[in-house]
Amino acid sequence: MTDRNKTISNAFKAFITEAPEHAKAWGGMVQALEQASSLETKTSALSYIAVLAALNRTSGIPFHVLSAKEVGATREEVISAVLLGLPAAGHLVTQALPVAIEAYDKNE
């Protein structure tokens, strides 16, 4: 089992530490959205990686790659998720590729 807490970005750590009530509200909203989703857990995790890559939010990639890996996503599926946004977001998504691969491989 990997320790996802080690992959939390410094920005999110600051959010949790400096604004705990906001972080608690955010966490509750995230949990409610997860419960409302009709997507299977692995599909949802891979989709989230695709969105992060398309938005160039690479600081969240390691945490979410490990989340996907914990629910059975393969290395190839993670790579495909990152590259899913190529037609819509363009080459920008490739910025997330080395971050995602390193996070996946680091916790083998």
- Supply the pLDDT for residue 1: 43
Alpha carbons 51 and 85: distance in angstroms, whole number: 8
* Pair 105, 98: CB distance under 8 Å: no
**Which residue type sits at 26?**
W
Break the chain into its structural domains and give their ranges.
Answer: 4-106
* Pair 85, 50: CB distance under 8 Å: yes
User: Which stretch of DSSP H or E encloses residue 20?
Assistant: helix 20-36
- Supply the pLDDT for residue 91: 95
pLDDT at 95 over 50: yes
- Supply the pLDDT for residue 76: 98
pLDDT (tens digit, 9 = 90+) per residue, 28-87?
A: 999 999 999 999 999 999 999 999 999 999 999 999 999 999 999 999 999 999 999 999
Is residue 81 exposed (0-12), middle (13-18) or buried (19+ Cβ within 10 Å)?
buried
pLDDT at 90 over 70: yes
Predicted confidence band of residue 8 (pLDDT cuts 50, 70, 90) = confident
- Supply the pLDDT for residue 6: 80
pLDDT at 4 over 90: no
Homologous superfamily of domain range 4-106: AhpD-like (1.20.1290.10)
pLDDT at 2 over 60: no
Please list, in sequence order, all residues whose beta carbon lies within 8 angstroms of the beta carbon of residue 20, skipping any fewer than 6 positions away: none
- According to DSSP H, which parts of 37-106 are helical? 41-54, 61-70, 75-83, 86-89, 97-106
Query: How many other CB atoms sit within 10 Å of the CB of residue 80?
Result: 14
